[in-house]
Amino acid sequence: MKKNTVLGLEVPCGPNGVSVITVLQAIQGYYGYLPEEALEKAARELKVPLIDFYSVATFYKNFRLAPQGRREVVTCAGTACHVRGSEKITEEISRTLGVDISSTTEDGEYSLKCVNCVGACALAPLIIVDGRYYGQMTPLKVRRLFSDNPTKTEQTVSSGLSK
């Protein structure tokens, strides 16, 4: 694959041109997930068997075949977070938001994702909500964070962090 646009999207090239992974990354970067139609079109455009796209998309954890929720909640289950009690944090998020790991709430509001270490272990256990990090979490802080009064919670949590 030598060209560097697919479906009109720019795809970064490696020494061997674009690859199935970089194409999928570009598609997901644009749509937020991998829509079936887009994959079919891209496969035709690149003359790659569609199955190649699917086997790669299902092998790697970052690819999503369904749309994401409007807000993304990421919990860390890395070792540093685990020994500081991340399991209970994840559970509490699941319970509070009514969503399982790797799925999205029925109203399409929240997606919950669990990762292994984001490299900010000093903040363990931590969660990331829409790109914002919340460290030294406790189940209670989780509940406050997702309660109806988010502004108040943010203050509580961030002051808990910095002082």
Stretch that binds another protein, among 30-38, 65-73, 98-106, 119-127 (CB under 8 A): 119-127
Q: Residues 79 to 118: which contact another protein by CB under 8 A?
A: 79-84, 88, 91-92, 95, 115-118
Nearest residue relative to ligand FES (C-beta) = 78
Judge residue 54's burial from the number of C-beta atoms within 10 Å of its C-beta, 0-12 exposed, 13-18 middle, 19 or more buried.
Answer: middle
Residue 121 sits in the site that holds ligand FES (CB under 6 A): yes
List the beta bridge partners of residue 111.
Answer: 72, 104
Residue 24 touches which of another protein, ligand FES, none (Cβ within 5-8 Å per kind): another protein
- For 40-104, what is the HEC assignment? HHHHHHHCCCHHHHHHHHHHCCCCCCCCCCCEEEEEECCHHHHHCCHHHHHHHHHHHHCCCCCEE
The binder of 163, among another protein, ligand FES, none, by C-beta within 5 to 8 A per type, is another protein
Q: Is 9 in the site for another protein (CB under 8 A)?
A: no
